[in-house]
Structure 1
């Protein structure tokens, strides 16, 4: 295993009472990278973690770094709550991001590729081609790839658009001696070499299998072929130098909220702008300093914005190796998604939900009940109406299909589709159009607020009245991510909850004055206020003999008011246990401020996504589930919901799950007051506790018990 000292943070030391948000985010990805560098993990899973780090950094630079660069121009002297000006913060981000990215590249080159070769998959670079392989690649390039390529010239008056995130090859060209290209003076200015740029095609696989030993499968990359045989693109020129690169651009655009009926057009304009916005980062291999300098100048990037490596390879491309059955040994043990322990597999859920609430915990339990819940409603002649919110739902969604079917069956279907869900805008626009064509009522979000709440209500005619069935969730209505993200959701017919959900939909779909809710909390109305009030309640009830306790699990913690309230709770003796997957701006373990606060983070095969909040409340404990993290955007600038867990058996199950997470000593890191995240390890006398594995074994045992044949005893009787 990689030594812990390599994974300790040197750059998120707070300048006051808060860690910096952006630097804390980088440390989260350092924890993901820690998993990629664990030698005991299956090889393809390590590659998957490397791929996650790569995509996470892409989004980070598109959104967070871009916004800081903008602030650097508009308000350069303003400090954030951690004490950094934009310029100071950009410098710290560059230092730490370079360290993490370099570590990622080193892991790929020095560990992953040698291990792949050991497992029978060898990456062959062009300078290692055999004669047979070179001939094969040259034919492949000429027949299948050359027609796809479009070389673009550059000069002082023209620099081509380098699309966001896409890989490109750059070529430094020199006219061949004794050969005069047609219109030479048009292409090459006197005394200067020509530079051309070629986009790597996106519609074909970038991994190319080579002829060779059957026992050791060899492959190369399309990027390599283009660099190696790219000379064919430029008759009359020789390639003096070449370089592979991609550019990350600003994607932090705000749509015109006042666009009215033209809102979709305004959103589509935002999507177009992302491809040509200002550049924030250049990734390249280090094969040509002249080409790098040329691209930097044309994109207005400084040295801190450039990330070089020996070989620019997207680890995600290597995941194609895992498509063959023979590579199952290189993956995690297969984990089943078990049927719900409380819901019938065939019959509709109406009768069950009249009797009690049902908790669904994915991905340990299958997400099928959510899809079935909507599908049954679409087919049920007694269902009158379906109302729900959609933030992210994925491609080819069975939920969208069920909603369309319901509308076509004459039911009133109302869907609030959040078009501003970043990087899913295009897909959501398509869903909105399809639902409208099917006859559904589609609400295109709310002006100046993102609707991030996850809620579904089905209204059914039963006897002489109507009955409302509700589903509330911590995660999106996305069956695909539900196989990878850990989330909890609640099915209920509780009348108080149904009343509040009815009020919620009236507020977000029409003209309705804000009305008080009895059970639910809604951001930005009263969710933050209620959280702060419950923290203050713990402070009031806490005593040395009976200290208060708060346990909270979420993705990120950044809200200044909430953090200060938790500091106050710690000073009052309240024990605060936090399970924060990603960003944490709170500083734990500081005497006189936060010595009673503990922060851990779990990174494992599933992405931890639940938001669970426990308050001891002097023995009258309460647990809440929510769509909201304790962040400024969630509590102040989004429509979110928090809902209580009312039934004792579900309460006990969630509390047990929270305790499992807090006590985990594997795949877990603990945050220290100096900003270092230290990997937890089992004490010699302590049993290893890996939270996700414990939960999986628990649900497996429940499923086995449920499916076990019932034993019947034959009783002898006298005739």
Structure 2
């Protein structure tokens, strides 16, 4: 297929990056709030998507997994437009002169996003058309185009269309009685050009057809009936295009072109004006599919007249228009991975291990009493977390269970254990975050399911998302009541625990258990903030506590003591934290940052950040764990957290950051961090200008791949 060229109006808006300081300024004269020192968060997010897409070109990754990376980059871009671009468009209308830490107004941000997003989409379709499709064909995995259908394939597809597709299609001819229909968010649609008159003598010249979501977007051809190969596929869009004339009897179809609209999918709940958060969220969900338009994708073969017609209908400019050479929704290609049984084209399966303390002892509470236990998913199994709750549900000594749920998945064994515990007469309290983006409906259904089983369900604190990952089990042991806790960096979701890297800690430390109890009390009742012994908690002590620890490293460096900070997060955006890290670099603190996605800090600027290194790890598993480690003059401190270094995590969410005090367990985390910092195969290094480069290969060093080494070290 031909590749696309960048639209000229977009090309004209290519904007050079803000200039960086060209010489080393005296540290005391540097304004650390200067916009030149900050990377725009949305441009940085698009850079992350470029790194994901690069995996689709990585010959060391199995072919079907490379296709999966392409699909992930596309679904990521969908969410980027649904949430981030939508919010910037709204800000441009509300306060067009407001600027962020990078000094860009909303309109300037949108211009930069348009350029970078169009370049990214061009690359996505180039990778699909020029690289992946030819390589898939070499493996006898084929997408059969209309012009290449055999007579047998054509006959079968005609029958498939008549029996499975035609009965549920509803074309809308556009005229005064049939206005342009409301187009669902991210749905597959066709704009159809017609000539001739229908049975009533009408001829508007255009019709719109929406493909029902119940229809699969990719159809596998049966080899026994069509003579096709074992893995021959046809796009639903091709089938509809081939037989669309059957929908307009007696008329002539001049053209049929795919299009898709992405809409604002974030919703607003006025925290000051609601009496029932559940009802408010349910009300907003009903409108999600019909939010304001933020992006329009159209088949690149569509005539300009029709393109302009659609742009006018959706009241959009060309900045938000993407003319694509292929399916308008590449993320639907993910279905191929499940349809093709070719293990050699996928990652090698692995069996996660179980920590020896738990493997030797079936009583998980006895094992925790002996010592704290650390889990590192997905290298180690998530099943001990499920077992923790299962044993709690069955144990007569357990009096109460308290749990936060942000995302947990359908038919979760965690939820089943909580229901079993409640039915056994235990006090079970679950804090569910109804506003976990794109999981709102699932969490509403989950709340109803738990309430039916007599679980006490609360929705956290109005105005603050509950993002903390914690579970508390109160157990009577003789004359003593003991708290057992599990604290984690990731969600209580067994499926994502196989794909995301996260840490979890089991402990029955008295002070830690009391801290968790107090946080639950904050979430379920009313009262002022209580002092915590060991936990740092947002929105109260986490931000201040982390800044204090950075300042402590600065003081050590100024006093000639070794000073080092290692932070591993998904995003680094919060301005005060960035300024503190700049000051640390200026003081001589060694700062190592492992930031998977967005990073607004610029490393390597002389006199400002030359002691800061930022790397991103993109591999088989999604890096998700948040770790904050401080050298502390030889008294190493290691914290794990549910929070990234973002304004929302520090000030608008309930998060917990917990210390890993057991020296052996803390040493394990430091060892893991060291592996990531030595990774030479999946590391990308952030440059001062905001771009990322793969870790430079010298050809002489032994390749290091942190995730693979952890799999080997912790393999069952």
Q: Which band: TM-score by shorter chain?
A: over 0.9
Contact 1:207 1:318 in 2 (8 A): no
Which residue of 1 is the match for residue 6 of structure 2? none
Q: Is the 8 A contact 1:523 1:640 kept in 2?
A: yes
Q: Which position in structure 2 is the counterpart of 1:712? A: none
Q: In the alignment, what sits opposite 1:133?
A: 153
> Structure 2: which 5+ residue stretches go unaligned?
1-13, 20-34
Partner residue, 1:36: 56
Instruction: Determine helix, strand or coil for the equivalent of 1:578.
Output: strand
Secondary structure of the residue aligned to 2:261 is strand
Aligned to 2:220: 208
Out of 64, 67, 82, the position equivalent to 2:84 is 64
Q: Would you say the 8 A contact 1:210–1:219 is kept in 2? A: no
2:183 to 162, 170, 176: 162
Alignment of 1:117-196 (within 5 A): 117-155=137-175, 158-175=179-196, 180-185=197-202, 188-189=203-204, 193-196=205-208
Structure 1 window deviating more from structure 2 (133-142 vs 383-392): it is: 133-142
Conserved? CA contact 2:429–2:455, under 8 Å: yes
CA contact (8 A) 2:218 2:333 kept: no
Q: How many angstroms apart in 2 are the aligned matches of 1:40 and 1:641?
A: 38
Match of 1:340 in 2: 355
TM-superposed deviation, 1:248 = 0.5
2:109 pairs with one of 82, 89, 94: 89
Q: Per-residue CA shift, 1:533-567, capped at 9, x if unaligned?
A: 00000011114853310000000000000000000
Q: Could you say what secondary structure the match of 1:604 adopts?
A: coil
Secondary structure of the corresponding residue to residue 602 of structure 2: coil
Structure 2 CA distance for aligned equivalents of residues 409 and 138 of structure 1: 57
- Deviation digits for residues 476-530 of structure 1, max 9, x if unmatched? 0001100000000100000010111111111111012111101001001010000
Q: Render the CA deviation track for 1:361-415: whole Å, top value 9, x for unaligned.
A: 0000110000110111111111100001111101111111111111111100000
The 3-state SS of whatever aligns with 2:577 is helix
Contact 2:403 2:430 in 1 (8 A): yes
Q: 5 Å matches for 1:543-692?
A: 543=558, 545-692=560-707
Seen in structure 2, the aligned counterparts of structure 1 residues 224 and 397 have a Cα distance that, compared at 3 Å, is same
Deviations 1:626-679 (A, max 9, x none): 000000000011000001011111011011011111111111100111222010
3-state SS of paired residue (1:275)? helix
For residue 341 of structure 1, report the CA deviation from its aligned partner: 2.9
Q: Is contact 2:221–2:228 with CA below 8 Å preserved after alignment? A: no
In the alignment, what sits opposite 1:282? Answer: 296
Please list the CA deviations of residues 65-117 of structure 1 after superposition, one character each: whole Å capped at 9, or x if unmatched: 00111111111122221121111111110101110111011100111111111
In the alignment, the residues of structure 2 paired with residue 215 and residue 165 of structure 1 have an alpha-carbon distance, to the nearest angstrom, of 31
- How far is 1:258 from its partner? 4.1
Residues 489-568 of structure 1 correspond to what in structure 2 (within 5 A)? Answer: 489-543=504-558, 545-568=560-583
Q: Distance in 2 between matches of 1:146 and 1:250?
A: 31
**In the alignment, which residue of structure 2 is the partner of 1:22?**
42
Task: State TM-score, norm by structure 2.
Answer: 0.93
User: Is residue 542–residue 618 contact of structure 1 (8 Å, CA) maintained in 2?
Assistant: no
| Deviation for aligned residue 1:235 | 1.4
| Farther-moved stretch of structure 1 (401-410 vs 678-687) | 678-687
Q: After alignment, is 447-456 or 261-270 more displaced? A: 261-270
The 2-side partners of 1:372 and 1:154 are apart by 58
Paired with 2:397 and 2:273, the residues of 1 have a C-alpha distance of 39
1:229 to 243, 252, 257: 243
What is the deviation of 1:312?
A: 1.9
Count of residue correspondences: 684
The change in CA–CA distance for 1:370 and 1:558 in structure 2 (over 3 A counts) is same
In the alignment, is the contact (CA less than 8 A) between 1:365 and 1:699 conserved in 2? yes
Q: Report what 2:125 is aligned to.
A: 105
Counterpart selection for 2:264 from 250, 259, 266: 250
Residue 602 of structure 1: CA displacement? Answer: 0.3
Q: Distance in 1 between matches of 2:613 and 2:245?
A: 59
Whether 2:68 is the aligned partner of 1:51: answer no
Q: 1:197 aligns with which of 199, 209, 213?
A: 209
| Matched position secondary structure for 2:47 | helix
Match of 2:480 in 1: 465
Q: What is the CA-CA distance between 1:40 and the residue it aligns to?
A: 2.9
Aligned-pair CA distance for 1:251: 1.4
User: CA RMSD for the aligned pairs?
Assistant: 1.7
The Cα shift of 1:352 comes to 1.2
Q: Give, in whole Å, the separation in 2 of the partners of 1:13 and 1:225.
A: 48
Indicate if the aligned counterparts of 2:465 and 2:653 stay in contact, CA closer than 8 A: yes
Cα distance, 1:331 vs. partner? 0.7
CA distance in 2, matches of 1:235, 1:215: 34
For residue 28 of structure 2, what is the aligned residue in structure 1? none
Q: CA deviation at 1:464?
A: 1.1
Retained in 2: the 8 A contact 1:241–1:287? no
| Deviation by residue 1:253-310 (Cα, 9 ceiling, x = unmatched) | 1123246553222111111111111100011211222332222111111111011111
Q: Distance in 1 between matches of 2:510 and 2:66?
A: 47
Q: Given that residues 42 and 330 in structure 1 are in contact (C-alpha distance below 8 angstroms), is that contact kept between their aligned partners in structure 2?
A: yes
Cα shift at 1:252: 2.0
Give 3-state SS (helix, strand or coil) of 2:387's partner.
helix
CA deviation profile, 1:9-37 (whole Å, cap 9, x unmatched): 98665751100000000000000011111
Question: Residues of 2 paired with 1:260 and 1:174: CA distance?
Answer: 52
1:685, distance to aligned residue in structure 2 (A): 2.5
| Partner SS state of residue 681, structure 2 | coil
Residue 361 of structure 2 contacts residue 367 of structure 2 at CA under 8 Å; is this kept in 1?
Answer: no
Q: Any gaps of 5 or more consecutive residues in structure 1?
A: 1-8, 704-719
Report the CA distance between 1:455 and its aligned residue: 0.5
Q: Secondary structure at the match of 1:392?
A: coil
Counterparts in 2 of 1:397 and 1:259: CA distance versus 1, 3 Å:
farther
SS at 1:542 equivalent: helix
Specify the SS of the correspondent of 2:356. Answer: coil
